Every structure is written in structure tokens, then in C-alpha cells.
Structure 1
Amino acid sequence: MTRLLGRLGGWCARHGWIVLVTWVIAAAALMGGSLAFPSPTNNDASIPGTDAQRAHDLMKEGFGAGYAQGGTVQLLVYSADGPLLEEKRKQAVERAVDRLETMPHVTSVDTPFRVGGISSNLQIGLITIKMAGNDSDKIAQTTQELSKAADPAREAGLEVVPADSSNPADKEIKTGPSEVIGVVCALLVLVFAFGTLVAAIVPIFAALVSVASGLGVIGLLGWVVDMPKQAGIMATMIGLGVGIDYALFLLSRHRRLLAQGVPVVESVRRTVSSSGGAVVFAGGTVIIALSALMLAGFPLLATLGWVTGISVVAAVLTSVTLVPALLGLLGHRVNALKVPFLRGSGSSGTGWAGLGSWVARRPWRVLLASTIVLGALAAPALALKLGPIDEGYGDKGSEPRRAYELMATGFGPGFNGPLIVVAELPEKVPGAKDPLVKKLVGEVEDVEGVKYVSDPKVNADGRSVLMQAIPEYAPSDERTAEVVEDVRAIALPGVQVHVGGKVAGLTDAGDRMAERTPLVIGVVVLLSALLLLLAFRAPIVAIKAAVMNLVSLGAAFGALALVFSIGLGTGLVGLDPPASSSYVQTIFFSVPIESYVPLMLFAVLFGLSMDYEVFLLTAVRQSYQRHGRNARAVAEGLGSTGRVITSAALIMVAVFTAFIAYPDSMVKTFGVGLAVAIAVDATIIRGFLVPATMVLLGRLNWWCPRWLDRLLPNLSVEGHEEDEDEPVAERREPVGAGVGAGVG
């Protein structure tokens, strides 16, 4: 593979303009096509085989699609100066209702001036709009149009806010300044790393081309597959990080070879042959980890996984083709426009080599200290709180949060997360007054935690009953999930009770994630270790790398628990506590983490962490092949990669931290988790823990049984024979040598 990559890199370097123009045209065409013909999005959060999905299907089959999704829109009307029943205010609300009745697809409008339509203080009213024939995928747009139609109430000084009736997955996460901030921060890191503006711009340009290409493909794929609205932001976040990092690794290698006097095209060929192979294998681990999400049993999560993988594929392709083309075109001008007082990464890296030597002389102490520090970082993960997140945690001042607060104040927190109860009856009943239906309603009302049950509706064939149960608790309250289970547990002869709605769906998602998590983790770890085994032909190295990545995940989950579950830092990431919170509650403002986030985070982090492992192991392996001395190879490998890995990690951290500014809590969660994990991985784990364990293992690092060596294909990632002149030492350390040894 390394020879093939080398030939590819050499060809791209010799035909730079062809490659550059092809990529620019392709990226512009793909991105332009996706913008000119925006594809429909479908955030179907259904989970086949769950009770919530069964309730949804029964609603659609027995009562029409309008009941299942997008059939009802609610507007909250608030009078800050007095009761809504005051004549002028009441007339204004009635004019708004009259206009709403004329809107397309509206079948009926319930005014606030009905039983249960107005709060006890008479200042908050609820307008309920029933619809039919509308596009359920455009519920957010429809809601805004209906809200605009209620302007007569606003003109009378009343506040009108649309209640959020969409699924959490329907929240479109729009791109914004975070991408710009991330790119600017990455550029600054690259300037400090390379010391020249031209070299710093190369990875940025390559990453932007790869992200544009990936987003274009994702946008066009939306015409043939269901594409979540979050796909773009996830692809941008990961694509920027890996795209800049992969180009950075190649560029660093190329500049070192140029400094040694290697001609430009030959330097590019050697760079792609060696570091390009590492990029391909590193990208492969990320794609494997993301693809494993298809085993989670959650279609939305699976789609997010492989869609994000598209951005990684684009980053790998631009790294092994576009970057070599740019390097060939620039030649020695890659070092042009030097920044004063900055030496850049062309320096020897003796600081990291010195750290490697220091670690090699005291591996046991370093191993113990690193384990203690990592254990302390991971300890808060025991307090990780998973659960549905509601609009009460939304951006302060936003319409969804304002509607949530008005609903909770006027009617109770449970009205923000009603339970949709659908029951299958053993026989046909004449209507809602049938004794069996009345008994069922009574059973639901008797469930602890149920505050209110709506009038039941029986479908046309008399075999299904639909009602709405309002819990006493907020959607994010863990007691609401218990209410869901208790309603489902109702036992009447021949009656099957199903519960749907937002809370029930997220509860089922949490259960499915808990059930499938061991499978996903096992597959990711096994396949990633297998890929490393193919790359380095060293079973112990492959197993150790998988374990090290799991360690960095522990630190990430510890940070998430500390910030979100314990609440020590939610204000710093832009989450606002409720207005009624006390001073202590404001400081320790706990926010639940969606149940599917840890699994998605695991897949992304495991793949990204493997990147640094591959680059470090490649350098150590090359040194070991030259002279056969393990401890010295570890020090030299750390010395040659330490600075570039640190720079790459800083770029990743900068990009992910910039995305914390997004108002969406899910994006904030990913930003915090990814930033902390990458920082810990590139410092404590790659700088101390990995070198210490490799020194202690000695030659066992590269041991491989003969039978396994014969079975494995030759897919070496290094290509060291092409860029090093020093012969391989004939005398090697015995197995186990290097324990506590110096660097020699």
C-alpha cells in the first residue's frame, strides 16, 4: 500500500495544477449543487420494535397521520398587565382565532376561553390548532406561519409564543460563526507550529476543500436517503478537525525531508508513502468506529454515523491527493513568508525527545502517576446523568424556552411533555362511553404521577382508543420515565396499552442504547485493533492501543459529568438555569445528557484517538527498524512526533471548543467531550502513558507469532525503507529488554 500511495503522491506533485483545479471544480460543483437544489430532510427518530413506535403506528393507522405527527400546533398567549378575560384583550384573542381558522390546512381552532384553556391566574391562555394535509416535515415553518397569523393579539399588547411541538431531532442546527472561529484558531496554531504563513495556509485550504466536498455529497444524498438536519454540523465539526490534522502530518514530514536536501517531488513521494499510509489507516479507524453505530438499533444515530464518515473520507482523499499537489506546486516556497521570532516545526524536537528519554528512565513511576491522574479525571463519570433534555434548558430568550416556561407556569411542567396513550382493544366498542374504555381511562388516571387525562377517542373500527395523559413532572425529570413504564404496565384483559410521544420515545431510545452499547463498543474495539494489527503486525501493540483509547474516553465522560451532570460549568458553556433557580442552583446547574450522545461520542473519540496512536507508533516502529533498541526508539518516536501531535491536538481542541458556542445543547456536549478527550489523549496518554508502557514491554511490542505473521497480508503503514538510509541493526534487544533502561 505504501508504494502505491508513494506513486500517487509523486504523480500529484508532478501534475499539481490538474489535481488542484479538479478538486476546486468538484468541491464547487458539489457544494453549489446542494445549495441550488436543497434536499429535503427527514429527522425520523423512530426506533423500530419499540413501544413508542408501536403507539405512533397505531395513531397513524387508526386516527390518521395528523394525530401521529404535525397534526396539532399550540400558541401560548400571555397578558402581563391583567387577565385575558378583560374585554379588549379577549376581543383581540378572538380576532386572532378567526384569522387562524382561515389558514391553509387548519381544520379547527380551540380558543383559550374554554375549560382547561386558561391558567388559574387567567393571564396565560392556550390556543390549540388542529391541522390536516400539511407537510409534517415542515412543522417548524408551519408553526411560524400560524404564529404570524396571531398578530391581532400582539397588536393589543399580548405576548404570543408558539409552543414547541416538534421532535428534538427536528431542531435544525444552523452553521454560524463557530466554523470561522475554529478555522482562525487553527490558523494561529499552524503559524506557531510552522513559523511560515504559506505552510500554515496549506492545511486550512485542504480542509476547507474537503469539508465543502463532503457537505456537497451529503446535501445531494438527501434526495435518495433520509438525511437528518444535524448531519451538516457533525460533518463540519469532524471534517474540519481531521482535515487540518491529516494535512498537518503530511506537511510536517515534507518540510523535514526538504530540510535534509531531498528534492521536492521525491520528498512528496516519500511523505505520502509513509505519513500518507498513516493517514489512510487513521482515517480507516474513524470510519470503522462511526460505521459501527449502525448496530445501535437507532436509525437516526446510524445515519449520523455514516454521514459523518463521509467527511472523514473526503479528508483522507484530499490529504493524499490535494496536499501533495499543493506541495509540488509550492516547492520550496512552502517555507515562504516566515513569521519573525518563530522557528516552526522544522526544529529538532529535542524537547519531546528529552521527555521520551526521561520517561524511558523511570517507566514505572510515570505509569503509576499517569494512571492516578487519568483515574481522577475519569472518576466524575460515575455521576453521569443520562435522560431526555427539554426546552427548559434552551437558550434564554429563545421562543421555545419562553413557551416552555409559560406552559409550565400556567398549566404545569408536565404539559410540556404529554404522553400519548394508545390502547388496542380485544373487541369492537361503540364509542368513548363504553365501560371498557371508561375503565381504561380510570386506570390511567390512577397511575401515580399522572395529573390529567384527556377525553378518549375511539377510531372508526372501534378497536383502538387514543388519549393524552399529562404527567406531574417535566419531560427531563427521571420520574416522568417511570410514569411511562407504569402506564404501559396497566393490565386489563385483552387490552394492550402503548405509550408514545416525545418522552416515551426518548425513554425507549435510552433503553435501546443501553441494550446495544456493549455490542457497539465490542465491534469498534475489535475492528480497530484488527486494523492496527494489519498495519503493524504486532498483536500487543494493537491491544494496547485499543485500551489506551478507552482510557481517554473515561476522561471525556468524566468532564461531561463534571460540567453537565454535576453542573460545575454549565454557565461557562452558555447554558442558562431557570429564572426561579436559587444562587446555589445557578452555580450547580445540572443538565441531563441525551442517551444516544455517549455512544456517538464514543465512536467519534475512539476513531480520533487512534489517529495519534497510529502516527506515534509509526515513528517508533521506524526507529526500532533502524537500530533495534526499544527504549531509544520510543524516545526518538516521541521526539519526532511530539510537536506535530501536540499542534494537531491544539487544532482539534480549538475547533471543538469553538462549537461550544452553538446554542444547541447536543453540540455543546460534543464540543466539551471531544475537546477534553483530545487534550488528554495528546498529552498525558501519548506523552507519558504510551511511552512508559512501550518501554516496559520492550521487544514484546513488536512480537508476532509466526503462524499469525504468515496469515497477515503485508499492509505496512510505514514505508521506512524509502526515506531512511541507516541500515537495520543486526543486533537487537532481547525480548523484554528496555525495562527501566536508558535511551542509549
Structure 2
Amino acid sequence: MASRRNLAASLGAWSARHRKTALFGWLFAVVALTVLGSMVGQKSLTEADYGTGESGRASEILIDAGITTPAPEMVLVHSDGLTADQAGFRKAVADAITAVDGTGLAQGIGDPYKTGAVSEDGHDALIQFTVKGDPETAPDRIQPVVDAVTRTDRANADVTYGQYGAATGLLGINDALGEDFAGAEYTAVPVALGILLVVFGALVAAVLPLILAITACVAAMGLLALSSQLVPVDAMTSSVLFLMGLAVGVDYCLFYIRREREERAAGRDPQTALQIAAATSGRSVLISGLTVAVAMAGMFLSGLTVFEGFAMATIEVVLIAVLGSMTVLPAVMAMLGDKVNAGRIPGLRRKARVRTANDKPGILLGAVLKAPALFALIGIAGMLALASPALSMKTEKLGFDQLLPADNVTAQTAGRIEKVFPGAPAPAQIVYQTNDITSPAATKAIADFQQTALASGQVKKPIDVTLHKKENIAVINAPLAGDGRNSVSTGALDALRDDIVPATLGDAPVGGDLAFSVDYNDQLKSSIVPVFAFVMGISFLLMLTCFRSVVIAITAIVLNLLSVAAAYGVMTAVFQKGWGDELVGTTAVGAIESWMPLFVFVVLFGLSMDYHVFVVSRIREAHDRGLENKAAVAHGIRSTAGVVTSAGLIMVAVFAVFGTLSMQDFKQLGVGLAVAVFLDATLVRAVLLPSVMVLLGRSNWWLPRWLGWLPDLEHGGPEPAAAPRPAPQPVAQSFSDAVAEAPSRPAAAAERSFAAN
């Protein structure tokens, strides 16, 4: 029977025939994208781009009016021995004001003795000011002020100074991101290389996937710079791109190379082995990559620009990695031939093992096959137990002092300011727009707001009012009760929005840090259902089309949901409840970063399909070859156990590296992904998947008659074309026949078959 058309096999065949074109075309594309991306530059999100809801409307009013709010900064003056009414303390405050003013970068410097920003116990005073110029570039220009405060600190032994604000906070985060990204890059790559050396036992085979993954990341970085002109990206996006690109790029190559080595071990000539690897593992890579990309596309439904940037970056790097593994990898492997095994590492010699239907299962798989119901129950119970802490998951937009390590000086200053001057770092910002901001009616409305707000106890002094007469807008900064982000502050914000502002200022929107966090969380919560429905729905359709089975598609969805739920549970236990937080070098912050659950769901749902497609494809190969259900399941699990374990180990290692970084959101992301991938590659694929498929029996491949129009895709290797004339020598068969231990035919005939494909 003629083989069905297989895109992966066709691309692999073309690349093998046009080796130099594929290789140099890839290198040219990587260089071109890198150069173009460098010329254009990556466009980052502005503060307004993050906005949504009422706080987003407040930002839009100011942007439309051309009003930029200067970046606020604060210098905290503290002394354990002196109080604010003593001469030494007063001199320290005056010296700090002089130092800040002397930089020429500050405006509106507030003397704490005049603004009332002195703590109740008198040991702290807060100097507030704003940074001149564009607030977006303030982090790049704030260093002279930081240096001036540092010099003043050295000159006053009886007091300590700390600086925090929009500019220094973002500067600290950017510095931490830069250090974290560099640390991840320098750590993840050697770790992945070490694992690949163990897996392959040969330098060339180990380096090849890594080079391809890195070049895919480099190309994707360039492409991201171009696409960011349309969809601006967050500062974290490049790190997320690298994280995803390295993980999937190495895994895709690993699937491909391992299958080729397996076919060579079965006696196939290089051309036929590469043909089968292209048609089987290459096809799995294509389906997996498309599934991951589609899952990532779900983030476009979040309604938040930051997620659109994440989606663009991850889709780009995954598709580039898929393209590389399906084109340049076959070309390079065709060039190298058996030299791919060059550079053998002493003591790590690895030889691919040929699995047949007659092989006995290992101890674990044998037990699962004998008692599938018991192991399915144990596996599901274990996953649900790990997921149970997620029932109490609390999400919030983490503050600056929560994102950075507890020993970070700027983060400590931020925490001290919030404790001593609650609400001061992040007041609510009311944007009041009217026809004439100087009219008696507008003046009275603002005065009524101040009086009502202070009388309510929900707002504290000082309330700062800035009039923009030309634009007829008043910007009112009102410190909220509480610490600026606890339940007391949230209640105060609700009172402002629901009662105080409507009664005095009409429909003026309320913004500020807490308002932004609340609106951001609300938007994420409202987008969870459409994002989840989209990702699961499209994944179901892809699995249904790929395997022509409703049951297989449903099983894939359920098992992936179990992995995601377990990741949520572990993240909640570690970062919210503090169970074992010291093991990952952090202190629990009492909440999960608000964007983390949605992002982790999308990423894990896509990545879990990698292993699912790869394993079930091998099971389907055996089933199509005529093996009964249990034997097909056993053969598929045995055949993929080594590569799935190796691929999972690489992903876990890469994600775990990010879990060791300093930024709290990187830690949460790294730990969550590492745990989920570990569980997915071990418990799910080794216990749950085989036990469930054995229990379901022939129902695994059930397809309603009305879906009979779905394409019947080939899951085994393509059958070679017939030899041009009879010959006494053995003839190479398809992969299915190879498993049945048929002999091989001459390499020339196999090569003609590969070229014909």
C-alpha cells in the first residue's frame, strides 16, 4: 500500500537532499533576524499599556491629555537613637534634602517637617519628591540621586538612609532581571549539555540539540524585536522566550535523534533510519509544536497586553524550534551520518536498544499492566493530594518588596516605608476631569472630596492635589488606610470607588498601584474561563484529528489538567503557605503572582502534549500494526520510556534553574513548571496513561461514525517504494515491519525511497 503523505517526512527528505541549502538557509535566517531585530530594537510596554479597568481608564485620560505623572521617589531617614525633634536628626534630614536637590534631577522636594511625614515614634522621616523629565526614562537617570543619598549616608553616622520609588524600584527590578537572565543562561546551558552527554554518551550528539535550540532562541529574539513594534513586550518576555526555547528546542531534537539512533540499532541504513525518524518523531514534533503554539495563543484572550507579548514570544520560539528540528536537523544528520556518535565520552557509552513486541515490561510497567485499576486509583489520588493546597490559592500583584529577595536593600526600604508610613508609597490616584477645573464648582467638589475622604477614615493625610489648568484635569493622590495592599486598603479603595468619589467627584476614575492590582486581578479572573475553554477545546480538536479517537482526546485533556492542578498545589504550598520554601531559597510571600496561574496553565498544557503525542503515537503505531490493546500500550511505553525520561529531565533541569533565581516570579514560574513536567514525564506517562489505556481497552480508538470524514493520518514510518527489479538481497521494509524483525534492503534503494517521499 502506498504511504500516506507526511509533511514531516517530506521536509526531512527535502533537507536530506539539499543539505547545504537547509543548513546555510537556517544560518542566514538566524543572522538576518538578529541583525534586523538589533536595528529595530525591542519595544517595551509602557506603564499605561499594563492598565485595565478603571485604573486603565484613569491612565488613558492622562495620556490623551498629554499629562505625564513624574516618577515619585522617597528617601527614608531613620535613626534608632535619635528622634525627629533632635538637632542631629534635623541636620540629617536637611543634608539629604540638599544632596537630592543638588543633583538637579528632583522637583517638588517635600520637607517632612512641613508635610507631616514623620513617624509617630519620631524615629523615621520621609522626604518625598519627583524625578524631572519623562517618567518612562526615570530609572535610567536616577543613579546620580542614589549616589548622592549614599554619600550623605556615609557622612551621617547616627542615621541611616534608604531610597525607594518608581524609578529606583524599576531600576532594581531591571538590574535583577538582567542578572537573573544572565545567570539562567550561563547555568541552564551547561546543565542541559551535561544531561545530553549522559543521554547520548557522545559529544556531537549532545551538542547538536543544544546548538539548534540556542540558534532558535537567537532567531526568535530578533523576530520578537520586530513583532514588538506591533505588540510591545514586558521586560520578562525575553527570559520567558529563552526558557521555553531552550526546553522545547532540545526536546524536539532529542526525540528526532533518539529515533534515528534506534532505527540504526535495528539494522537500518542511515538513509532509511533518517526517513523513519522524520516520518515518526518528526511528525510528533510537528503536532506537539502546533499544539504548544495554539495553547500559547490562548493568552490573546486574556485582554492584557503583557500576555499578548508572552504569547507572541513563546509562539515564535516554538515554531522556529519546530522548523529547525524538521529541516536543518535532518540536513546535519544526513551530513554527519554515523559521525553523530563521534566524541564518545569514556564511561558514558550509550547504545540505542531496539524494542520488540516480545520484550518483557519492566517491574513498574509490568505491575501497572497487571493491576491497572489499582495503579490508576493510586496515581489519581496522588495527583489530587498534590493539587489540594490550590483550593486555598490566593493571587495578587506582588509588590516590589515581595518580588526581590528579603535581603535586598531597596526592598527592605520599601517594606520599612510601608510599615511606618502605610499608604505613602502607593496612594490612590483620582483623575478628575471637568470643563473648567478652576471654576467654583470644581474647587468645591475637590474640597468636598478631601473633607469626606478624611472624615471617612478610609483616606489619610496628606492628600495631594495637582491642577492641570490647561487640560482641565486635577490629579488627586490620596493615601489609603492600611498598608497599601492589605484587606484594609482594599476596603478603602472600594469605599472610594463606590461611595466617596461618586458623591463628590462624579465618575472620576480611581487609579494607583492598588487599584491597578485589583483591576488586573479582576481581568485575569474574568479571562480564565475563555482562555481555559479555548486551550482545551483546540487541544481536543488537534488530538481528535491526530489520533481519530474521541477517547484519546479526552484522556489527554484530563491527564494534562491533573498535571496543571498538581503544579498549582505545589506552588501554593511553597510560596503561599511556606511549606519547604527554604529549599528553593526564598521566604513565602503569602500569595501567588496574579498572572502566574493563567500563564502556567497555558505553558503546561502545551508542553504536556509533547510527551502525550510522542507516547501515544508509538502506541498507535503498534496498534495499527495489529497488536492487541494491552500489548500495544506496553510496547509504546517501553519504546518511549528512555527518551521521555531524558526529555523530561532536561526540561525539569532548565525550569529548575529559573527556580533558583532571585526574582520571586521567576522562582514561582520555575518551580511550578519543573514540578509539573517531572510529574508529567514520570507519574502521568509511566503510571496513569498506561493504566487508563489498558482499562479502556478497545474503547481507546472509538470514533463516532459521523466523524469518519476525519483524515486517517499515518503513525508509523512510511513504507519504502518497491525495488525497481527483483533482487536476491534483503529488502528494507517500513518501520512496522522492522519491529517484526524483517531484514534490510540495500542503502541505494532506501535512499531512492527517501528521495521519492
If the length of structure 2 is used for normalisation, what is the TM-score?
0.87
649-658 vs 451-460, which moves further: 451-460
Offset, 1:630:
0.7
Q: Which amino acid aligns with 1:125?
A: A
**Where does residue 456 of structure 1 map in the other structure?**
465
287-296 vs 120-129, which moves further: 120-129
Q: Separation in 2 of the partners of 1:452 and 1:315?
A: 56
Taking a change above 3 Å as real, the CA distance of residues 50 and 224 of structure 1, as seen in their structure-2 partners, is closer
Alignment of 1:485-496 (within 5 A): 485-490=494-499, 491-492=502-503, 495-496=506-507
156-165 vs 230-239, which moves further: 156-165
Taking a change above 3 Å as real, the CA distance of residues 84 and 445 of structure 1, as seen in their structure-2 partners, is closer
Q: Separation in 2 of the partners of 1:356 and 1:650?
A: 19
Give the aligned CA root-mean-square deviation in angstroms.
3.0
1:9 pairs with 2:12: yes
Alignment of 1:272-351 (within 5 A): 272-342=278-348, 344=350, 346-348=352-354
Q: 2:265 aligns with which of 253, 259, 269?
A: 259
**Where does residue 402 of structure 1 map in the other structure?**
412
CA deviations over 1:671-704 (Å, ceiling 9, x no partner): 0110011011111111111111111221221122
1:647 pairs with 2:640: no
Q: Separation in 1 of the partners of 2:207 and 2:5?
A: 26
CA contact (8 A) 1:92 1:156 kept: no
Alignment of 1:106-145 (within 5 A): 106-131=106-131, 134-145=133-144
1:466 pairs with 2:469: no
**Where does residue 663 of structure 1 map in the other structure?**
662
Instruction: Give 3-state SS (helix, strand or coil) of 2:582's partner.
Output: coil
CA contact (8 A) 1:345 1:644 kept: no
CA contact (8 A) 1:41 1:137 kept: no
Taking a change above 3 Å as real, the CA distance of residues 300 and 446 of structure 1, as seen in their structure-2 partners, is farther
Q: Separation in 2 of the partners of 1:641 and 1:727?
A: 17
Alignment of 1:168-179 (within 5 A): 171-172=173-174, 173-174=177-178, 175-179=181-185
Q: Separation in 2 of the partners of 1:647 and 1:43?
A: 41
Offset, 1:33:
5.1
Instruction: Give 3-state SS (helix, strand or coil) of 1:422's partner.
Output: strand
CA contact (8 A) 2:464 2:478 kept: no
Offset, 1:252:
0.5
464-473 vs 720-729, which moves further: 720-729
Instruction: Give 3-state SS (helix, strand or coil) of 1:109's partner.
Output: strand
Taking a change above 3 Å as real, the CA distance of residues 225 and 599 of structure 1, as seen in their structure-2 partners, is closer
Q: Which amino acid aligns with 1:706?
A: R
CA contact (8 A) 1:450 1:472 kept: yes
Instruction: Give 3-state SS (helix, strand or coil) of 1:416's partner.
Output: coil
CA contact (8 A) 2:600 2:669 kept: yes
Alignment of 1:432-511 (within 5 A): 434-447=443-456, 449-460=458-469, 464-490=473-499, 491-492=502-503, 495-511=506-522
Offset, 1:520:
0.6
Consecutive unaligned residues in structure 1, runs of 5 or more: 577-588, 730-744
Offset, 1:364:
1.1
Q: Separation in 1 of the partners of 2:698 and 2:225?
A: 49
Taking a change above 3 Å as real, the CA distance of residues 85 and 140 of structure 1, as seen in their structure-2 partners, is farther
Q: 1:39 aligns with which of 39, 42, 52?
A: 42
CA contact (8 A) 2:54 2:510 kept: yes
233-242 vs 529-538, which moves further: 529-538
Q: Aligned pair count?
A: 711
**Where does residue 738 of structure 1 map in the other structure?**
none
Offset, 1:38:
3.9
1:192 pairs with 2:202: no
Taking a change above 3 Å as real, the CA distance of residues 161 and 206 of structure 1, as seen in their structure-2 partners, is same
Q: Separation in 1 of the partners of 2:248 and 2:58?
A: 41
444-453 vs 496-505, which moves further: 444-453
CA contact (8 A) 1:432 1:456 kept: no
**Where does residue 542 of structure 2 map in the other structure?**
531
**Where does residue 586 of structure 1 map in the other structure?**
none
Q: Separation in 2 of the partners of 1:145 and 1:603?
A: 42
> Once the two structures are aligned, what percentage of the paired residues are identical?
29
**Where does residue 594 of structure 1 map in the other structure?**
593
Alignment of 1:18-417 (within 5 A): 18-31=21-34, 34-35=37-38, 38-44=41-47, 46=49, 50-60=53-63, 65-67=67-69, 70-79=70-79, 82-83=82-83, 94=94, 97-98=97-98, 100-101=100-101, 103=103, 106-131=106-131, 134-150=133-149, 153-157=152-156, 159-165=160-166, 171-172=173-174, 173-174=177-178, 175-342=181-348, 344=350, 346-348=352-354, 355-393=364-402, 394-409=404-419, 411-417=420-426
Instruction: Give 3-state SS (helix, strand or coil) of 1:473's partner.
Output: coil
CA contact (8 A) 1:106 1:130 kept: yes
Taking a change above 3 Å as real, the CA distance of residues 474 and 21 of structure 1, as seen in their structure-2 partners, is farther
CA contact (8 A) 2:16 2:334 kept: yes
Taking a change above 3 Å as real, the CA distance of residues 519 and 105 of structure 1, as seen in their structure-2 partners, is same
Offset, 1:501:
1.1
Q: Which amino acid aligns with 1:288?
A: V
Q: Separation in 2 of the partners of 1:485 and 1:718?
A: 61
Consecutive unaligned residues in structure 2, runs of 5 or more: 721-733, 741-757
CA deviations over 1:622-662 (Å, ceiling 9, x no partner): 00011241110000000000111011111110000001122
453-462 vs 217-226, which moves further: 453-462
Q: Separation in 1 of the partners of 2:585 and 2:690?
A: 38
CA contact (8 A) 1:10 1:266 kept: no
CA contact (8 A) 1:556 1:676 kept: yes
Taking a change above 3 Å as real, the CA distance of residues 87 and 443 of structure 1, as seen in their structure-2 partners, is closer
Taking a change above 3 Å as real, the CA distance of residues 239 and 36 of structure 1, as seen in their structure-2 partners, is same
Q: 1:513 aligns with which of 489, 503, 524?
A: 524
Q: Separation in 2 of the partners of 1:332 and 1:693?
A: 39
**Where does residue 547 of structure 1 map in the other structure?**
558
Q: Which amino acid aligns with 1:500?
A: G
Taking a change above 3 Å as real, the CA distance of residues 463 and 177 of structure 1, as seen in their structure-2 partners, is closer
Offset, 1:105:
6.3
Offset, 1:122:
4.6
Instruction: Give 3-state SS (helix, strand or coil) of 1:519's partner.
Output: helix
CA deviations over 1:316-359 (Å, ceiling 9, x no partner): 11111122122122211222333344453613566866644432
CA deviations over 1:401-447 (Å, ceiling 9, x no partner): 032133135x3232232211234569866369944333222332244
Q: Separation in 1 of the partners of 2:665 and 2:736?
A: 51
CA contact (8 A) 2:52 2:516 kept: no
Offset, 1:114:
2.4
CA contact (8 A) 1:93 1:153 kept: no
Q: Which amino acid aligns with 1:74?
A: M
Instruction: Give 3-state SS (helix, strand or coil) of 2:431's partner.
Output: strand
Q: Which amino acid aligns with 1:65?
A: I
Taking a change above 3 Å as real, the CA distance of residues 212 and 665 of structure 1, as seen in their structure-2 partners, is same
Q: Which amino acid aligns with 2:68?
A: G
Offset, 1:282:
0.4
CA deviations over 1:454-474 (Å, ceiling 9, x no partner): 143454279654322223333
CA contact (8 A) 2:418 2:484 kept: no
357-366 vs 675-684, which moves further: 357-366
